[in-house]
Each structure stands twice: as C-alpha cells, then as structure tokens.
Structure 1
Amino acid sequence: MTEKYRKVAYYPGCALEGTGHAYNRSTKEVGKALGLELVELENWNCCGAMEVKNVDPKLQTFLSARNLKIAEDMGFDTVMAPCNGCYHNLKKAEYDLSHDAGSRETVAKLAAKSGDQPYEAGNVETIHALEWIRDAIGTDELHKRIKNSLNGLKIANYYGCMYTRPRHIFPEKDKGPGSESTSKPHFMDDLLAAAGAVNVEFPLKTACCGGAHTLSDSDTSTRLVLNILTTAEACGAEVIATECPTCHSGLEMHQIRAEKVLGKKTNVKILYFTQLLGMALGLSARKVGVNENFSESRDLLKAKGLG
C-alpha cells in the first residue's frame, strides 16, 4: 500500500460533471467507503482533451499544466484523474515539459499572461483511479472489506486505448511484477477479482472504441463498439467493466445504435468498475449511480444479489 495515495488532489475533468456523472459519484462513494480522501482542485479547467490539442498541442499542454500547478499550490504532490483522456493529457503534459523546450516556453508565456507561475515538470504525479485504489488499499485489504461479493459475475475488463498509449508518457508502467502493463493491463482485473468477480479472457482490452469519431463518423464508431461488444459476449462476459467516461458512453450509445441501424443486438451490460466495487463494498446500486446508466443491468445485478 502507498500511504501518500490515501489523500490526493482530485481532477474530475469535464466529462465527469456531464455524461460521466455516475463515474464521478461512484468514484467518490468508493473512496469514502475505503477511507480515502479526495480534495477537488480549485478552479480547475478543461485539459484540452479533444478540440484544443487539434488546434495547438502546446496550448493543450498549458491547460493540463495549469491543473498540475493548482494541485501543487494546494500542497499536493499527487493528482488523481479518473478519465482516461484527462489522465493521458496530464501525463503527456508532464512528459512534454520534461523533454520539449518549446512546450516549456509556451507554458511560461501563457502562465505569465494569466499572472501565474508556470508548472515545472516533476513536482506532481498524475495517477489514474485504478492506480489510486489498487495502491492506496491493495487487493488483499480490499478483499477483506468486501461485504457483498460480486458472486462470480463474469466480466470483460475494458481499459480503452488512452490508458496505455503512447507508452513513452507512462514511464511507471511495464516495470515488472506489481506494475501495470501497457500490452495487457490488469489493475482493473485485480480489483474486481478481489471483489469476487470472474474475469474472462478478453483480447480487446485496449482496442479503440472510436470515441473521438462519434460525432464525425458515427458508423465507424458503431462498428468498433460492436466488435468490442460481440467479442465480450463470445468470451462469456455478462458485463463489460469500464474506467473511462468516453468509452463508457460510447459503448452504451453505440450498443443501442448497432441494434437500430445495423440490426445487431447484444445483451452484455456496461458498468463502471467503481460501480461494481461500490456494490461489492455494500453500497446500493442507486448510491453508485447505476440508475444513471443507459445500460439496463438491474435484473442481472439482482440475480447476483447486488444492488
């Protein structure tokens, strides 16, 4: 267990205050249930996940660096970002500021315009919600705290593409036993197994769901999601566990669209991993926002004695 992760700065990002509200709610509730403390960043801004970095990547670096600086000024050396896009962009900003003089120059200029000191690389560590729970509590201790086992619920753990790519911005991964893997991530598997789930062998853990193209090319996104859904079912999964609001929304929306547009119906349910952990820790389905999901999983959860 890592003691410093028991109280960290919390960067929810834009999606968790909108379409990913259930992820925000369930993450906070799981933290409380485990005795972990999240302190939300004051006056945080968008990390520039989509449009901004397409216009100017260095502007996106500044936006993410500003959030890291806020965490530092609040006295934290660790910020937790549950959203894959936010997590990726904060990690990328850290890498760019360490390796690119142009990024450091841009951040310094924009910080000066706003009357702030620029963030300097190396002062704040960014971690994902998976790392936060796994390292702050540990799987053995988590298992001891389970009040309502997931009872062998068969789960395909879906990490999405931004949790592990590009590899060079995640220097803490691929360090052998105990570290996360970029080719076959397992932190979500470890946590849910500790809660009583059965993790199926799922080859598309890090396949792209087409989230960035949902509006510009819905047909491609639907086909990518359908591939993930049908593969999960073929592997025997009853549930796809997610840890990214964009991926989660995409899987839910395109599951519906695949049936309406392509005539392809799938029955696998989509739930945030924090919702599953929360119920295993004894929280109600409503408490962790299952009622906010489009994916209707209540009958399955009741059959497993959850919710």
Structure 2
Amino acid sequence: MAGDMKYKKVAYYPGCALEGSGHAYNRSTKAVGKELGLDLVEIKNWNCCGAMEVKNIDPKIQTYLSARNLSITEEMGFDTVMAPCNGCYHNLKKAEYDLDHDETSKEVNNRLSSKAGHKTYEAGKVETIHALDWIKKSIGEDGIRERVKNSLQGIKVANYYGCMYTRPRHIFPEKDQGPGSESTSKPHYMDDILAAAGAENVDFPLKTACCGGAHTLSDSDTSTKLVLNILTAAEACGADVVATECPTCHTGLEMHQIRAEKVLGRKTNIKILYFTQLLGMALGLSAKKVGVNENFSDARSLLKEKGLG
C-alpha cells in the first residue's frame, strides 16, 4: 500500500488527556511521526472537545466545542486534523455529523461562534482522522516494513481498540467501505501496522469491548470488572502485550489492572503499551524516547527480553 501524500502533513489535535495522563502517547506519537518523516502541526489555542462530561449537560455545546477546533484547523489552512484520542476523534466526527444533519446543532454553533468572535465551522471543510488512519494511509504496511530496524518478532499482541473508535457507526462513513477501509465490527488497522513491524497479533475477541472508562469515578467496581475481562481474555489468547490507541482506555487498563489485584485479588501479568510505543521501538527508537518509563504497566523487562530494551 503506497502512502497518500495528503496525510504527510496534518493538523494535530492532542486533546486534554495527551497533556496529562496520556503524555506517553503524545510523546510516542510525535516521535514516531518524526521518524517516519511525517509532519504534525498542533492546532493553535485549541480547547477541550467536551470529552464525556459536557454532553450529559448539553450535547449541542459539546458539538460547538469540537466545531471550534475544526474551525481553527480550517483557518490554519488544513483540511485534515489528526486526533489520537478515541474520545476526541469520536467527538470531532460526531460534531461533523451533527452539523450536517441537525439544524439545532447548526444554529447553536452559529450563535456561539458569532459570540466568541471566530469563523463558524461548516460541515465538510475538514476531515478528522485517527492516529491509526494517519500512519496506515501516509506510510502503509510496506513503508513500515522498509523502515523497521528492530523487529517486533516474538511479541504476541492483543490489539485493543476500545468502544468509541467504531461506535456509533453512522458518524464514521469512511469505514466499512470494502477492501482497504477500516471495519467497525472487526477493526484491523492497528493489527496491520504492528504486523508490518513484525509483531504476532493474537485472535482477540474483545478488541472493541468497553473498558468502563466513563464510569471509572462513578462506578469503579464495574470498570475494574470490565478491564479484568479484557486483560484475562488477552492472556487466555496467549498475548504478552495489550496494545492501545486511546489514552483513556490505556489509563483505565493500567489503573484497574492494579485495582483488580488489590480489591478483587485477581492478578494479571500482561503488559500494556501504546501502539505508537511498540511501533517506535520497531523503528529503532529507545524505550525512553517513546515514554515507556512513563507507563504504570512496567514492560521494560519484557522488552529487554525481546531485544527492545
């Protein structure tokens, strides 16, 4: 698969989590991009997309918050924005859909944009992509194979996409479009990327199961049980590592892995790494360069054992 020049240089929307608990994802995403010769230009003066909280108060305001980021992207001269967080990616895509299909959302966006003094975003001006789309479409599997310096051979990976990467299906019209497109029922972009880097992907049935991230504070026990299901299933499939592509999912898996042992007496040994960390090390970057030392899940011994320390 040849790379698409359109995605070589894109606007970058890190979102709030990547400046906090997901800093290692931010670090590794930027490091991988640089190593692959891709250019990320961070959106100026970006704001929170509304995350999971604002929609419970007023979903139209959440649409506006995401639309403002799309408006800034357009004003910067970009027609593509990359959001590596599933929540941010989902919210920007949902805002695009709502502004194209819901008159009330459009009216609220027009009114608040005017009041805030910036250009009103109109649907169809900017394409939102995920970090997986960005690498898959700009470099492709062949491009990754050509650049691998330290193969991930010998590492068995359970690729965990989380629930917001594919749901609800109607806000992702580019998916399920036949050969080459991403699937909402059986996503494979992360599998494709890491396989190209040499990893062995296990057949993991819970790749889009919910980790309970939205309920971590309100119902920790439920979140812990959901995460435990994911981790025990990954271990049962023979995986060494769960690869993630969302900071909320990643933090949830790490935190509730610890909590499951302390509260439920259920210990799992599987390690949790961002897919960009695995890819970065395959490209020759050090574990420290991609922020492995920042993870709560300590995978350093495993990585050294596999020749990636």
Alignment TM-score > 0.5, same fold: yes
User: Please, which of 203, 206, 219 is the counterpart of residue 204 of structure 1?
Assistant: 206
Give the whole-Å Cα distance in 2 for the aligned partners of 1:142 and 1:52: 38
User: Counterparts in 2 of 1:132-147, with a 5 A limit?
Assistant: 132-147=134-149
Give the whole-Å Cα distance in 2 for the aligned partners of 1:159 and 1:93: 21
Residue matched to 2:85: 83
Give the whole-Å Cα distance in 1 for the aligned partners of 2:276 and 2:87: 17
Give the whole-Å Cα distance in 2 for the aligned partners of 1:173 and 1:51: 26
User: Please, which of 147, 150, 164 is the counterpart of residue 148 of structure 1?
Assistant: 150
Which segment is superposed worse, 46-55 or 203-212? 46-55
Give the whole-Å Cα distance in 2 for the aligned partners of 1:285 and 1:54: 39
**How big is the alpha-carbon RMSD for the aligned residues of Structure 1 and Structure 2?**
0.4
Residue matched to 1:274: 276
What is the one-letter code of the residue matched to 1:101?
E
Structure 2 unpaired stretches of 5+: none
Deviation (angstroms), 1:115: 1.1
SS in structure 1 of the partner of residue 231 of structure 2: helix
Give the whole-Å Cα distance in 1 for the aligned partners of 2:52 and 2:92: 13
- 1:293 equivalent in alignment to 2:295: yes
User: Counterparts in 2 of 1:33-112, with a 5 A limit?
Assistant: 33-112=35-114
- 1:117 equivalent in alignment to 2:130: no
User: Please, which of 232, 248, 263 is the counterpart of residue 230 of structure 1?
Assistant: 232
Give the whole-Å Cα distance in 2 for the aligned partners of 1:214 and 1:195: 33
Deviation (angstroms), 1:64: 0.2
What is the one-letter code of the residue matched to 2:111?
K
What is the one-letter code of the residue matched to 1:213?
H
Structure 1 unpaired stretches of 5+: none
Deviation (angstroms), 1:116: 1.4
SS in structure 1 of the partner of residue 228 of structure 2: helix
Give the whole-Å Cα distance in 1 for the aligned partners of 2:39 and 2:54: 31
SS in structure 2 of the partner of residue 175 of structure 1: coil
Give the whole-Å Cα distance in 2 for the aligned partners of 1:207 and 1:126: 23
The superposition leaves residues 206-264 of structure 1 with CA deviations (integer Å, 9 ceiling, x where unpaired) of 00000000000000000000000000000000000000000000000000000000000
Give the whole-Å Cα distance in 2 for the aligned partners of 1:234 and 1:39: 41
Give the whole-Å Cα distance in 1 for the aligned partners of 2:269 and 2:117: 53
The superposition leaves residues 97-141 of structure 1 with CA deviations (integer Å, 9 ceiling, x where unpaired) of 000010000000000101112100000000000000000001011
Count of residue pairs brought into register by the alignment: 307
Identity of aligned residues (%): 80
User: Counterparts in 2 of 1:165-244, with a 5 A limit?
Assistant: 165-244=167-246
Give the whole-Å Cα distance in 2 for the aligned partners of 1:187 and 1:217: 31
User: Please, which of 263, 266, 269 is the counterpart of residue 264 of structure 1?
Assistant: 266
Give the whole-Å Cα distance in 2 for the aligned partners of 1:70 and 1:201: 41
SS in structure 1 of the partner of residue 207 of structure 2: coil
Runs of 4+ in 1 over 3 A off after TM superposition: none
Deviation (angstroms), 1:149: 0.3
SS in structure 1 of the partner of residue 284 of structure 2: coil
What is the one-letter code of the residue matched to 1:200?
V
Give the whole-Å Cα distance in 1 for the aligned partners of 2:125 and 2:239: 41
What is the one-letter code of the residue matched to 2:136?
R
Give the whole-Å Cα distance in 1 for the aligned partners of 2:195 and 2:118: 45
What is the one-letter code of the residue matched to 2:197?
A
